[in-house]
Structure formats: structure tokens, C-alpha cells
Structure 1
Amino acid sequence: MTPHRKLSIAALALVMLGGFGFTPDRGPSWQLTDTGVTARFRGLAPVSGKVAWAAGSAGTVLRTVDGGRTWASVGPPEAAALQFRDIEAADARHAVALTIGNGADSRIYATADGGATWTETFRNDEPAAFYDCMTFLDRRHGLALSDPVGGRFRILATSDGGRTWRVRPTDGMPDALPGEFAFAASGTCLVSAGGHAWFATGGDATARVFASRDGGRSWTVTGSPVPSGPSAGIYSLAFRDPRHGLAVGGDYAAPTAAPDGSAVTRDGGRHWTVSRTVPGEYRSGVAWRGRTALAVGPTGSDVSHDGGVTWRRFDTGSFDAVACTADGSCWASGQDGRIARLSR
């Protein structure tokens, strides 16, 4: 917006209330970048408007340092047969990436030189474990989530930036429901804010949210109103602080219909309320941009200017993951090598 263009009252209210607002006469839009690959990117870790990482199928990891004008393929060669589903980055040089699968296919790799070299820092040796997603509470302390082993979800923890990991005892973890699991859809089934952590589930009769206020050592759990089933539940969480959170999901097998597929909390996940206006279709990723929120899925993208209470569609392209940075830059990634930046 030029200095000579006056804001409408509605637009000014959005800017004042939302921190990063979109004018009603020109909504947000995605600007695709040329990645030069066809991998499906469910792992996404933007650092700023210039620096971003993406991780996906066939062991592919990309990095840009020029806002998406060019991308470098920097994945570990030994992971070419694996599927990355999450990546967390601290800056242009430091990143930690998670591959999924039963047994030894669940691994974690770390780089400290922009992807020039990688170290495998964890390889799962529990046949029943299947790691879905990661989060970092700060640069040193991180958590990774596995589907239930012996009836309880399993937490992996690092205190040195991902160089070493250890499995946490499950004493502080509530029992899982018989068919409950987490979704490795966008790297956001496990998230954190202000030293707290949350993870979301589906698969059984109730989609639930687990919360930890002590760095992942102990957890509480609460049910949500988001419908759950064999391929349905909460696929993504986002918290902008320890109290205000969003949950989106639906049914991957029925992507064009998701009644009650989004919910909000204002008390740290103790209670969840269905959005007044939901996206209405399956959404696999959600993110905060100031007080504005974005949700993405294979059938489109939605924006909310009121903290997830109401949503409006603004794009019909397919994306799996969305993430925003402290400077207000937002990125989305998905199938066929699609990575985009949000146009303000």
C-alpha cells in the first residue's frame, strides 16, 4: 500500500486489531515459487521473508536464502528412500528434519552448515513406534511425537538443539484411546508456544488435544468438538501464545466436506469451541500471522481475521503445510513441488 492510499475504516481496524491485516478489497494471495522438483512438501520451516526450508518425499530437502527466487536441494543423500514430514529451522544454517515410518524409517537428521552435511541424530529401534512431528520450545529444547506404544503416546526429547535425543518415560502421559493416533500431514500435530506444548489426535471416536506445561514431561488431555474417525480428526494445531490456539482437520478420505472442522481455544487447550464459520473442507495446516490466521489443505486456503472464529476462502490451490515468521512472512507447501509465499 502506498503512503498516498487511504485505509478504509474496516481495513484500519484489521491492521490495528490483527497486527498483520489484509485489506478487504484485496485479500491475501499465494505467489508460487519455482522449486524445480516434484516432491510433496509436508515439512515447512520458514525463518524469515528470505530464508525458508522445506522437506518432503523421496528424501528431498530444499532451502532458499533469497525469498524463494532460487532453491537449493540440500537433503542428506542417505535419506533418498525416506519420507520427510517435518523440519524445524533456527536460521539459514541450522535445521532438524524428521522422516516417518515404522521402525527404523522414523529418523531425525540435523545440519549446522545449511544442509552441506547432515548427521543422523536418532533412529527409531522400537518396531511399534511411528514418529509424526516435532517442535522446538527454544533453540536447544525440542520434542518429537510417536503414535502410541503400549497404549500411550511416546515423546522423544532433545536439550542440545537436536544433536542427541532420548525417549521420555510415559508415566506422565494419559492412556491413548484404542484407535487413537496423530497425523503426519504437515509437521504441526505437535506444536509449542511460551514453553508449553500441545499435540492433537484423531482415529478414534474423539479428536483430542494433549497439553504439557513442563517441557513435555507430563501431559493432560481434553476432548474436542472436531469430528474424529479412522481417517479423521485434528490434523494441525497453532498457538500464538500459551492461551490462544487453533485446531483444524477433517477427513483426509473425504476432503470436500468437513463439518465442525475447525475450533478455537482461549485457555490453553482446556476447552475448545467450534468456529462460527468453518472452512468447510479438510484442512491439514494452520498458522498464526499476528492475530490473523491461515489454514490450508488440498482443496484451498482460508483466512480468519478474528482469531479463527470465522473463516473465508481466498485460494483454491492445493497445499499441505503453512507457516509464518515473526516478521509476518507466510509460506505454504504441498504436492508437485509447490511452495509459495503470501502476498501482503
Structure 2
Amino acid sequence: MRFILFCFVMIGFYSCKSEKTVRSRNFSKVEIEPLLQDSFLNIRALKVSNNRVWFAGSDGYYGNWDLKDINPEIDLSDIFKKYESISHNYQGHMSRNMNSDSTGYELRAIAKTDDGFFTITAGSPSVFTRYKANDRNIVYKESHPKAFYDSMDFWNDKEGIAIGDPTDDCMSVIITRDGGETWTKLSCDELPKVRDGEAAFAASDTNISIIGEHTWVATGGKASRILYSPDKGKTWEIYDTPIIQGAATTGMYSIDFYDEKHGFAIGGDYTKPNDTLNNKIRTIDGGKTWEVVAQGKGPGYRSCVQYVPNSNAKGLVAVGFKGIDYSKDSGDTWKHLSDEGFYTIRFLNDSIAYAAGKGRISKLTFSK
């Protein structure tokens, strides 16, 4: 009997030890530390990878820096100006993309692999550039007058995806299987057909969410739906959502998944940023069905939403030009933390994030 009891105790101990660490959070404030401020910058694409911050923005500007280099004694704006006229500077802190195909264009989407950094110009021509070591190469270019790519991400170091507005009767989806060396645009025969006025928003480079081999793409505009692939872009399904839609400026602007089941999307109508009806939706079945949450309450239009790491799909932070908001209960209720506006945000851990917007990149520290 004692042996059996001992076995149950040991099983319980090791089961608890194997569970993912989940911390209870209830943020009530956020400290905002400016890292880079320059009025000519307009940054909507941001990544935190391998202890580095990567960004891209207006007029072909892009950059990165090691988080260990960020301290009060370093003026990052001076570092930026120092590298402003240097091209091909993949290893440096910040630089300007001097390629004639992209200078003067908005860079709205970026991605990072172990040995490469990728940017996409917004609008036509759409130019995909890969920076690897000290080399820079155009790996894909699309000159269709309707070409406009909104977001990109990678499943692993070899396989990646970018999505854009329709040039035919489906969303533009291009795939790489060789680390970004080559990209192939999927035929509309392989994708669900779009509805009239359905496209996507290049507001925060968060139209795509990837968990393992699962991929969710948020569309927006007159129709706002979920394009879903269970197998890294080989097959696709489409799911309806109850988010506000029907006008060119409505729909989902951002989507994030915590795991294969729990996801959240936010948006609204940026021309009516205070409207809070039907602009926040949640799924618990992998995107097949969605429910509206915080109806008539919480934040209005926001351009980016991200799950707080280690929060068991309960912690969410949303940002937009109207400020920063936090939910501790999967989006049912929200707390407005700051009026300072940002376009996009990425977490480093469960209390520190980096956010970018008009004229700046900042470090955000959340606390009780």
C-alpha cells in the first residue's frame, strides 16, 4: 500500500514538473523607455529574435541592434545617423536600404531566419530582399499593378510565407522552401476565392500567425475572414468571422495564436478609432469559429495584438495609435495602460516588449 502511494506521489511530482510554466499576471502599468526617436521614421515591421531587435519602415530604412547594446549611455539615434549612408550593412546596428528598387518605398513586412533577414516593399513593384552576411539580393519581384504584400513569416529556417492583396480572385500567397533563395506564388486554383473587396492590412506585420505547421492569415476590408493551412501552406481552408466588415477600412488588422486552439484577432475601422463594437474576436477551436468579446467596451481600433508569453492564453496586449491596452482574461475585460501610440509590438519575455510606431521604437516594461 505504501509503495502504491509512493508511486502516485512520484507520478504527480513529475507530471507537475513537466507542465509549462504559467505565471499569473495582472498588469496595471507600463513603463515606456524611448530607444530610437526620429521624426522621419514610420515603423510598422518589428521582430525580436536571438536577443536582437529588427525593424523596417518608411523610405527604405531598416536596421537591427543587439539588446545588450541598449543602455542609457548609448544614443541610438546617433548610431542610426552614423550608419544612415551605409548600404548592405546587415551586421551593423542600423542602415538604409540603398537599392534603387526599394529606396523611397515603405517597408511594411520583415522576417528573420538563422542566417537571413528579409524585407518587402509595400505596393507595386513588390520587392523581396534577402540580407545574408554582407550580401543583399532581390529574391522575388512582382510588378502587377495590384501587387501589395502585407506580412511575412517563416515556419522554420527553410520554409516561409508572405501574403498580400489579391491580384486575381484569391489572396496573394507566396512560399519558399529553400530558405528564401526562391519564392513561388500559389495559383488561385490552390486557394479559396476572395469575396468582393476582401484584401489585408499592412498595419503591423501581424496578418500571419504560425504555430508549428499551422498557419492562420487574417484578411480584411469589405470581407474579413481567416485563411487557414494545417500543413505549412500545402492546403488551405477559409473560415468566416463576426468581426466588423463591409467597408474598405474595416476588419481584422492583427491576429495572434497562443497555441493550436487559442487565438485572438483585433481591428475595427481606423477612421473611427473609438468604436468598440465587433472589433475584438476570440477562438478556442483553432480558428474554425469565433466569438466577439468585450462588446462595446475595451479598446477601439487597434493595429496589433499579441499574447503575453507564459500566460496560458489569458494575457493580451493590444496597441494602436490611440494607446496601449491589456487584458488578463483572454479579452473579456481590458485595462487602458497608456495613451502613447504605437503600430506594432513584440514580446521579449512575459514582462518586456518592444514597440514601434510613428517616429520611434521603445522598450515597454509591464508590471503590477
Which TM class, normalised by the smaller chain length? 0.7 to 0.9
Letter in 2 for 1:57: S
Moved more, 272-281 or 285-294: 272-281
Letter in 1 for 2:236: W
Q: Provide closer, same or farther for how the CA distance between residues 144 and 165 of structure 1 changes in structure 2, counting only shifts above 3 A.
A: same
Letter in 2 for 1:51: R
CA distance in 2, matches of 1:283, 1:251: 9
CA distance in 2, matches of 1:234, 1:99: 21
What does residue range 237-256 of structure 1 map to in structure 2 within 5 Å?
237-256=255-274
CA distance in 2, matches of 1:21, 1:166: 43
Match of 1:45 among 31, 44, 47: 47
Q: Give secondary structure in 1 for the equivalent of 2:64.
A: strand
Q: Give secondary structure in 2 for the equivalent of 1:160.
A: coil
Root-mean-square deviation (Å): 2.3
Offset, 1:83:
0.6
Match of 2:342 among 319, 328, 331: 319
Counterpart position of 2:22: 19
Retained in 2: the 8 A contact 1:84–1:98? yes
Unaligned runs of 5+ in 2: 1-18, 81-92
CA distance in 1, matches of 2:45, 2:36: 17
CA distance in 1, matches of 2:336, 2:122: 31
Matched, 1:295 2:347: no
Deviations 1:237-261 (A, max 9, x none): 0012121111000111112223121
Offset, 1:35:
4.4
Letter in 2 for 1:108: F
Counterpart position of 2:11: none
Matched, 1:107 2:110: no
What does residue range 166-185 of structure 1 map to in structure 2 within 5 Å?
166-185=184-203
Offset, 1:280:
3.1
Match of 2:95 among 74, 88, 93: 74
Match of 1:138 among 152, 156, 160: 156
Retained in 2: the 8 A contact 1:18–1:305? no
Q: Give the structure-1-normalised TM-score.
A: 0.86
CA distance in 1, matches of 2:276, 2:350: 32
Offset, 1:276:
3.1
CA distance in 2, matches of 1:94, 1:150: 30
Moved more, 174-183 or 36-45: 36-45
Offset, 1:90:
3.3
What does residue range 1-344 of structure 1 map to in structure 2 within 5 Å?
19-23=22-26, 26-36=28-38, 38-48=40-50, 50-66=51-67, 68-69=70-71, 70=76, 72-78=93-99, 79-90=102-113, 94-102=116-124, 104=125, 106-113=126-133, 116-204=134-222, 206-228=223-245, 229-276=247-294, 278-290=297-309, 291=311, 292-325=315-348, 329-344=352-367
CA distance in 2, matches of 1:267, 1:74: 42
CA distance in 2, matches of 1:171, 1:197: 19
Offset, 1:209:
1.1
CA distance in 2, matches of 1:36, 1:336: 5
Q: Give secondary structure in 1 for the equivalent of 2:210.
A: strand
Counterpart position of 1:12: none
Q: Give secondary structure in 1 for the equivalent of 2:253.
A: strand
Q: Provide closer, same or farther for how the CA distance between residues 169 and 121 of structure 1 changes in structure 2, counting only shifts above 3 A.
A: same
Letter in 2 for 1:286: V
Offset, 1:328:
5.9
Deviations 1:198-228 (A, max 9, x none): 1112211x42111111211222112211101
Q: Provide closer, same or farther for how the CA distance between residues 75 and 328 of structure 1 changes in structure 2, counting only shifts above 3 A.
A: farther
Retained in 2: the 8 A contact 1:207–1:223? yes
Offset, 1:163:
2.2
Point out the structure with max Rg over C-alpha. 2
Q: Provide closer, same or farther for how the CA distance between residues 263 and 18 of structure 1 changes in structure 2, counting only shifts above 3 A.
A: farther
Q: Give secondary structure in 2 for the equivalent of 1:279.
A: coil
Q: Give secondary structure in 1 for the equivalent of 2:59.
A: helix
Retained in 2: the 8 A contact 1:151–1:178? no
Deviations 1:9-31 (A, max 9, x none): xxxxxxx998355445x533332
Unaligned runs of 5+ in 1: 1-15
Between the aligned residues of both structures, percent identity stands at 28
Offset, 1:191:
2.1
CA distance in 1, matches of 2:343, 2:193: 29
CA distance in 2, matches of 1:85, 1:152: 21
Offset, 1:343:
4.2
CA distance in 2, matches of 1:169, 1:275: 36
CA distance in 2, matches of 1:95, 1:307: 32
Q: Provide closer, same or farther for how the CA distance between residues 328 and 313 of structure 1 changes in structure 2, counting only shifts above 3 A.
A: closer
CA distance in 2, matches of 1:280, 1:329: 21
Letter in 1 for 2:61: T
